[in-house]
């Protein structure tokens, strides 16, 4: 009898140890991403590989017993001392996990796709394909391969970790409609610009400067040039057409691209990046000034010198180019 009781006690203690005792070998915090359509086998294999999970077979049995037979997309952190029960509880608690996704101004297709792929059930390569396709975007929102940056309004969005591309694009379309409220639409009408034209100018402003206190001046230069029928001659559009960053040279100004505003009049076909909020508001709230030119200051402060005539602008530009040459900037 005593032997039987001893065996039972030993068995109970063993079970408790297996369930609640340390079941991982990691000495660090392991952040593990669970993806859609994983099986329990794939999940236990990942936990074993990443966190040194002990007793993977028992883990799978326990998970099913606790009502977790189908892994759900989420991120969990495995720490030293976690037991099987604790791990399954973390997985259950995060079955409907949400994540914050922050879209920033100046993002391009690659950086945006990587952001979504790192947080949601989005494949980066497939997402880029949709952005670059003339027609694929239209299945979700009224945008195409040239206008897509306007769809993504910079902000932090709380989304389900299980969100896939169709749901994501539909959510972004709703956020776009919410952003373009009657007040902003009225401001665009006052500026004699469509919403897409506002976003396109704002994207150029975003790339021109990181000094938000001069955004309105820069936006005004481009609006003034448009209204006078002048070429925009915006360096960021040339950089976009060239496809790589760096100093703009004379040869770049002849690149045969519809985005090259040194040879094509009017605005480029669409935004050259996701415009930041400050630049959008700067375009919408531009107050009249007479500047038609601007050039980066020779002190490399990040600010610009503005001019109303070409002679003054040429002097400013010459000073800046001398400063770049002296520093050996290519």
The string of DSSP letters for 315-327 reads: HHHHHHHHHHHHH
Report phi then psi at 261, rounded to 5: -80, 5
Q: How far apart (Å, rounded) are the C-alpha atoms in residues 327 and 330? A: 9
Provide mean pLDDT across the span 220-247: 93
Taking only the tens place, the pLDDT of each residue in 189-209 is 999 999 999 999 999 999 999
Give me 111's structure tokens. 């950086």
Provide mean pLDDT across the span 253-280: 95
Taking only the tens place, the pLDDT of each residue in 18-68 is 555 577 887 888 999 999 999 999 999 999 999 999 889 999 999 999 999
Identify the bridge partners of residue 76 per DSSP, sorted by sequence position: 32
Question: What pTM value is reported for the model?
Answer: 0.86
Q: Count Cβ atoms below 10 Å from residue 262 Cβ, excluding itself.
A: 18
Transcribe 26-87 into DSSP letters. Answer: -SS-EEEEEPTT--HHHHHHHHHHHH--S-HHHHHHHHHHTT--S--SEEEEE-TT--HHHH
Q: What is the predicted pLDDT for the residue at 135?
A: 86
Q: Count Cβ atoms below 10 Å from residue 7 Cβ, excluding itself.
A: 10
**13 falls in which pLDDT band (50, 70, 90)?**
very low
> Is 274 strand, coil or helix?
coil
Q: How far apart (Å, rounded) are the C-alpha atoms in residues 330 and 87? A: 54
Give me 297's structure tokens. 């200051």
Q: Which of 200, 219, 177, 206 is nearest to 277 (CA)?
A: 206
Sign of CA dihedral 180, 185, 186, 191: positive
> Residue holding tokens 């969005």?
157
């Amino acid at each position: 009898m005593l032997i039987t009781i001893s065996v039972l006690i030993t068995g109970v203690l063993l079970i408790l140890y297996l369930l609640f005792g340390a079941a991982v070998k990691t000495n660090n915090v392991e952040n593990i991403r669970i993806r859609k359509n994983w099986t329990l086998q794939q999940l236990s294999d990942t936990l074993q590989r990443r966190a040194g999970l002990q007793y993977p077979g028992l883990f799978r049995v326990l998970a099913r017993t606790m009502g977790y037979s189908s892994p759900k997309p989420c991120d969990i952190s495995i720490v030293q001392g976690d037991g099987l029960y604790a791990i399954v509880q973390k997985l259950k608690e995060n079955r409907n996990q949400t994540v914050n996704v922050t879209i920033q101004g100046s993002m391009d297709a690659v950086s945006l796709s990587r952001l979504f792929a790192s947080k949601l059930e989005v494949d980066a390569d497939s997402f880029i394909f949709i952005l670059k396709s003339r027609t694929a975007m239209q299945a979700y929102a009224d945008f195409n391969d040239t206008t897509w940056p306007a769809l993504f309004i910079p902000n932090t969005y709380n989304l389900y970790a299980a969100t896939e591309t169709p749901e994501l694009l539909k959510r972004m379309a709703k956020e776009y409609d919410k952003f373009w409220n009657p007040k902003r639409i009225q401001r665009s009408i006052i500026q004699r610009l469509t919403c897409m034209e506002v976003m396109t100018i704002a994207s150029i402003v975003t790339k021109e400067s990181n000094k938000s206190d001069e955004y309105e001046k820069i936006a005004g230069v481009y609006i003034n040039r448009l209204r006078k029928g002048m070429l925009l001659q915006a360096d960021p559009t040339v950089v976009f057409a060239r496809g790589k960053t760096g100093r703009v040279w004379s040869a770049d100004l002849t690149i045969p691209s519809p985005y090259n505003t040194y040879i094509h009049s009017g605005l480029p076909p669409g935004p050259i990046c996701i415009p930041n909020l400050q630049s959008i508001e700067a375009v919408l709230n531009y107050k009249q000034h007479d500047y038609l030119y601007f050039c980066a200051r020779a002190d490399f402060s990040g600010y610009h010198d503005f001019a109303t005539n070409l002679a003054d602008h040429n002097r400013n530009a010459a000073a800046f180019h001398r400063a770049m040459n002296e520093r050996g900037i290519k």
